[in-house]
Structure 1
């Protein structure tokens, strides 16, 4: 009998493809690449050549970095039609997004590492940077892409090189910098479906021979996508983004430079983009909520008990066929039509601004000192109709502000066989969040709180204040034991201090356009929701993380690596809504999570650089995984044990001049152990918004013409089934989907003019981006869908 473990289908496919790719490019064979081919690869047409990245805090060829990295150059971003920060998931195997507020807020998930808590005081396990500046609040992960040099996606625990430690990975957006001695720039205009207008532009102007400035901006808007049939309410699912960035660069040419950057963004959208489906909660013999199923058009049970017997949910014992508790039924969820009484244009506003100074000086030929000072501010006002129906039940509103300040000082040493990076990092975060459930004056549930028809409504408000001070010292060395073998060792120590205030209060709802927290409107005699005792605490963690890795380069163009990585993320706080959930004071603070990552991978090239293969396999072992469970209309994070196993593969081929083909795939199997999904009941579950299978392809053919070059491009991405809620009930399973896109472009010989036309989601696929289970609240589920088919054209002028 074989002692080998059975290999799952996803692993079999990726293992076989990897083995064939490596065998075809074995060192010493006819396909081996000589040292001179790097230059040829970087000159590949179509913008799909090798990219220089700074994933290890020094400039390196992407294929020579012993980390699982996906990178996109500015040329690729343009040719792929990526316009939003989260668009990169379509071409990054193992990377996906979770979402809330109807998809207006999105957070990256990487290899099953996810955090879908919508409290703004919570940091993501995936760190996001713009020009080395960390973005702390999760709302900051969504923004328009403009004037970018490249984007880097690093997978696995980070912290021995980059500013903020993160367990899941990081995404770094690097903008174009000023050009000294030359005036350059571009203007890009796009028009598309739903009156989509996108204007992007930049100009770099020299200031003498040692300085320059670069100013860039973005305007991106489209009309609502969801038609609302409720009289007097607005349509939903629009976008209006304005952003600007300005760089000043001083570079006297003696190895010393100073860059100062100012940025601003203002995004306005409608209230949450939801359609309402009907859902049925399932209860066991003890009355515990153990499952949820989507309601059929003939379903009349409020809830399902043992043996399929109908049971009451609260005061509701039955419903109209296929409807919510309040009688509303959407005949065709996903058709971009709704009937909701609370739908307000321009209701949701997301603003950010920042100021950054980056100073760099060469202390010697091989030692560089760098200082990065970064300030960012964020404000958010968001709202949505919780039941997404024409009935006035209640809404959700949030009002949050976050200020961050970070200071990083690092030294890097490049000694040939020995490379060192070390530094100090300080991060300050000050977050204030109000979020709650306003009941309007005409709400159907107002009488349950003893209020008469002429009384104002109520706001059940959660108030959270969190101040974080984080101090770190980190370092990493890369040492060449021989010309073929490199040893990597890194470590970091973090001291994290937090000051937390929490309260839940009930206020008079005198202004139904915002969440109330005015002490003069505080109500005493009105029944308060559970968990209203104010709570304050100061707590701290001292954490360490580390990395050890071996890299083997048997020949030019071949890299094999294997290592272990210990990632950490500090403990944090819960700020649940006042929805009746029973959460005790000792549950408001949860412990740090620790991730042990074991990973092996390869990056190889063959056919004189015309074929490249990158692959990795990994095993994650979590202790105290920070798991967010959504229950009722809120949720909370608990510490759980978890494991993730997976593999990724990417193949890039240029079989002949002008043709580029990219194929990638990912398999990820996550397991959170013994999650309590109902009182006294536990089960193993899978992580949220983490598809087990992902795949994508891209074909691009550039055809030289008598004048200019014609580009023909097709790309598609497959996303497997995934869960929207950690409880993994039947109704939480989102279907898989495939998206197909086409693009055609023409660029003149001088690369001055670029004309493009495109269609995305060619087959007009309807696919869920989120689903919130409100089975015991309204017998409904809030569902949001990705964009429908989109057609557009653009023109770009560069100078």
Structure 2
């Protein structure tokens, strides 16, 4: 708090003195600004593109404090996130569709593209957003132009380019929840034909959970990064752009907290409550001074755990002006490393019996821990020909190549639920794509796009436990010990996806459109604990989607009101999801094809500037995302067999207790979500401006469990954020409050019934689930 006061004093001093740098000339504008997007791999006005896309501009990023990837939910009503204490287990969800999986072999249903380059692992996206020019949230299948892992949508992030004149910005932020951030960028010319841009950031937060075992704060984060761009006009027709970045993010402690525990649980026929135990050890001592609930910020574990992300990327872009079109080549290389350690038993008790305490490389502690690094590398090459000019015909055609490899080591122990394995998956993709638009004199535009993609995946797995045996043939009982056959495999698939749309302008700046599209996400190997040769022999089948959409895009009242509406209906087959399954009589987490899904709904986005000093933003989404067919789904752990639909399987092979989860809502898919925002800008005199903003976000209840555990439900909630800023010249100071009403909510829920014998529900708490105040000071030059 002291640092926050000092920063506020410094800001007041800067604003109270005459600003020495001359303010840049600003062109007065009337109404809403035009937004150019690249949602169709061609630059086009947002309102002319027959795609449901939310464009988040640099101004919106600043006004709504979109500093991290998770903050995008404030701007896009159809976007939700499921988060855990380990970023590889997070999920990006659009229109109710997302991928949650432990396997390194599965790709997300929502692609993330940064400056024309798709990220290898979805976890790479969960980082700071620094020096960003624009973010486009494209809803619905986008695979024809953005690739095979965009069956539910794509998020296109565009960073700032070098400027023609020397310029820059710098900012510092401090918050009452012990958070500090600094970032900045400089840009300018090196010569008449070459310019540069260099941005840096540093972010530190102490965390929101207290470990009573040692007094440490958990869920903290320290991150920093650097991003550079170089743009050079090699000739009057050839332009070279180089981009490179490095980022590191680390947490010295990770934890979920206790939300609920059933200390009165009695199995059928029992007369006394079950005492929660882990390996026969009562865990009640570990619950001392912990009050379960949505506002619980305490835990007691002997292993704090940690996570660490490192990523480096480099890309080069060549654009050659052919006169009638531009020939563009984009080459990229990415390297992402992730490591973690986590407390598995969730206590600070000696639960291993007579076994010795665990030591490195897992983690020091008394109980059960797991750990293991990930490493992903990717090379991509895209070449495309993009039309130029304002004629009725526009097009894009190109080819894409990607070669990616991810490996992971995993250990768990030292005495219970032992695991020690290494696995890897490599993916090689080759694709050709084309898109064509033709505008008729009737102001009707027909559009079509197609992509043919060939993908080859390979996997490898070895069980390193001393007890692992060698698998030789289907008649053996080997467990993929070193030298096993059929614990490495290959699968190849070729598929075509397409999109058709028609757009009709019915009045100036008012148009309607309709489209149909297909999506595809390739085969995947389930490379995770419990791996058997059957996973190599039977990879998880590809996920496909067919989508229909119609919409309205409009601007009225001399550009002061924008209203966009989209209605959608999408079917998914063989949806890839992580869920519990009975394998050889035991319940295990496994990647599998759920079956048929359907998501349908209505989205409304509106922006208004009735007067020059007032900006209003609103978006709303109704999403009905359901599992249409999921028979023989496992019962969730601890599910009663009376009145819940849970019953012993009639399958002759014996699947344990099963239920029918057909016609049920998908996890973390709110039916209703609303975002409202207002920004007032007023002249305060003495060369000063005041800005006052409010943002409200509300969503209906969700359940985080695909199998329907009612204890995994998050009730409806709303978040109110506010800010007040004073700007003088090129200096601006902003006071803000996050979650003003202190509405506690969760980003993920789990039930440990299988470990403790009673329902013990834990929750993952994001930073925004608590109220905090802050001050940001920034300057531009």
TM-score range, shorter chain: 0.7 to 0.9
Q: Following the alignment from structure 1 to structure 2, what is the Cα–Cα distance between the partners of residues 767 and 269?
A: 21
Alignment of 1:472 onto 2:431: yes
Q: Following the alignment from structure 2 to structure 1, what is the Cα–Cα distance between the partners of residues 231 and 446?
A: 36
Deviations 1:366-405 (A, max 9, x none): 2100000010000001222233222344223231000011
The alpha-carbon deviation at position 56 of structure 1 amounts to 1.4
Tell me if the contact between 2:480 and 2:532 (Cα under 8 Å) persists in the aligned partners: no
Tell me if the contact between 2:489 and 2:536 (Cα under 8 Å) persists in the aligned partners: no
Q: Following the alignment from structure 2 to structure 1, what is the Cα–Cα distance between the partners of residues 105 and 203?
A: 28
The alpha-carbon deviation at position 253 of structure 1 amounts to 6.5
The alpha-carbon deviation at position 125 of structure 1 amounts to 0.9
Q: 1:344 to 1:635 in 2, by over 3 A?
A: same
Q: Which residue of 2 aligns with 1:411?
A: 385
The alpha-carbon deviation at position 482 of structure 1 amounts to 2.8
Q: Which residue of 2 aligns with 1:384?
A: 342
Give the counterpart of 1:184 among 157, 160, 167: 167
Q: Which residue of 1 aligns with 2:221?
A: 239
3-state DSSP of counterpart to 2:551: strand
Q: Following the alignment from structure 2 to structure 1, what is the Cα–Cα distance between the partners of residues 27 and 620?
A: 23
Q: Which residue of 2 aligns with 1:572?
A: 524
Q: Which residue of 2 aligns with 1:606?
A: 556
Q: Greater CA deviation, 624-633 or 544-553?
A: 624-633
Tell me if the contact between 2:148 and 2:453 (Cα under 8 Å) persists in the aligned partners: no
3-state DSSP of counterpart to 2:575: strand
Q: Following the alignment from structure 1 to structure 2, what is the Cα–Cα distance between the partners of residues 342 and 465?
A: 31
Q: Greater CA deviation, 631-640 or 105-114?
A: 631-640
Q: Greater CA deviation, 73-82 or 458-467?
A: 458-467
Q: Which residue of 2 aligns with 1:432?
A: 407
Alignment of 1:167 onto 2:117: no
Tell me if the contact between 1:166 and 1:567 (Cα under 8 Å) persists in the aligned partners: yes
3-state DSSP of counterpart to 2:304: coil
Q: Following the alignment from structure 1 to structure 2, what is the Cα–Cα distance between the partners of residues 86 and 617?
A: 25
Q: 1:105 to 1:708 in 2, by over 3 A?
A: farther
Q: Which residue of 2 aligns with 1:93?
A: 77
Alignment of 1:43 onto 2:1: no
Q: Which residue of 1 aligns with 2:676?
A: 697
Alignment of 1:398 onto 2:372: yes
Deviations 1:168-214 (A, max 9, x none): 1111111111123x111111111112321111110113111000111
Unaligned runs of 5+ in 1: 1-39, 280-294, 441-445, 450-457, 508-521
Q: 1:62 to 1:459 in 2, by over 3 A?
A: same
Q: Which residue of 1 aligns with 2:715?
A: 735
Alignment of 1:486 onto 2:472: no
Give the counterpart of 2:258 among 276, 300, 309: 276
Give the counterpart of 2:264 among 276, 295, 299: 299
The alpha-carbon deviation at position 324 of structure 1 amounts to 10
Alignment of 1:123-138 (within 5 A): 123-138=107-122
The alpha-carbon deviation at position 273 of structure 1 amounts to 2.5
Q: Which residue of 2 aligns with 1:776?
A: 754
Deviations 1:572-615 (A, max 9, x none): 1112324xx99944685111111000000111111112111111
Q: Following the alignment from structure 2 to structure 1, what is the Cα–Cα distance between the partners of residues 713 and 200?
A: 40
Tell me if the contact between 1:68 and 1:616 (Cα under 8 Å) persists in the aligned partners: yes
Q: 1:384 to 1:633 in 2, by over 3 A?
A: farther
Q: Which residue of 2 aligns with 1:761?
A: 739
Alignment of 1:790 onto 2:755: no
Q: Following the alignment from structure 2 to structure 1, what is the Cα–Cα distance between the partners of residues 335 and 133?
A: 24
Unaligned runs of 5+ in 2: 1-25, 352-366, 471-476, 582-586, 635-654
Tell me if the contact between 2:379 and 2:404 (Cα under 8 Å) persists in the aligned partners: yes
Q: Following the alignment from structure 2 to structure 1, what is the Cα–Cα distance between the partners of residues 519 and 546?
A: 6
Deviations 1:135-191 (A, max 9, x none): 0112112010111111111111113323555101111111111123x1111111111
Q: Following the alignment from structure 1 to structure 2, what is the Cα–Cα distance between the partners of residues 538 and 359?
A: 34
Deviations 1:689-736 (A, max 9, x none): 221111110011111121231111000101221221211121222222
The alpha-carbon deviation at position 106 of structure 1 amounts to 3.2
3-state DSSP of counterpart to 2:106: coil
Alignment of 1:628 onto 2:578: yes
C-alpha RMSD of the superposition = 2.7
Runs of 4 or more above 6 Å deviation? 522-525
Q: Following the alignment from structure 2 to structure 1, what is the Cα–Cα distance between the partners of residues 276 and 712?
A: 21
Give the counterpart of 1:561 among 507, 513, 517: 513
Tell me if the contact between 2:597 and 2:629 (Cα under 8 Å) persists in the aligned partners: no
Q: Following the alignment from structure 1 to structure 2, what is the Cα–Cα distance between the partners of residues 474 and 523?
A: 46
Q: Which residue of 2 aligns with 1:120?
A: 104
Q: 1:317 to 1:299 in 2, by over 3 A?
A: closer
Q: Following the alignment from structure 2 to structure 1, what is the Cα–Cα distance between the partners of residues 52 and 708?
A: 29
Q: Greater CA deviation, 379-388 or 389-398?
A: 389-398
Tell me if the contact between 1:114 and 1:689 (Cα under 8 Å) persists in the aligned partners: no
Give the counterpart of 1:214 among 197, 205, 224: 197
Q: Which residue of 2 aligns with 1:332?
A: 292
Give the counterpart of 1:342 among 281, 299, 302: 302
Normalising by structure 2, we get a TM-score of 0.84
Q: Following the alignment from structure 2 to structure 1, what is the Cα–Cα distance between the partners of residues 580 and 702?
A: 16
3-state DSSP of counterpart to 1:747: strand
Normalising by structure 1, we get a TM-score of 0.82
Tell me if the contact between 1:645 and 1:668 (Cα under 8 Å) persists in the aligned partners: yes
The alpha-carbon deviation at position 122 of structure 1 amounts to 2.2
Q: Following the alignment from structure 2 to structure 1, what is the Cα–Cα distance between the partners of residues 533 and 714?
A: 28
The alpha-carbon deviation at position 766 of structure 1 amounts to 1.1
Tell me if the contact between 1:612 and 1:653 (Cα under 8 Å) persists in the aligned partners: yes
The alpha-carbon deviation at position 123 of structure 1 amounts to 1.4
Give the counterpart of 1:713 among 693, 715, 725: 693
Q: Following the alignment from structure 1 to structure 2, what is the Cα–Cα distance between the partners of residues 479 and 77?
A: 34
Equivalences, count: 691
Q: 1:576 to 1:317 in 2, by over 3 A?
A: farther
Q: Which residue of 2 aligns with 1:422?
A: 397
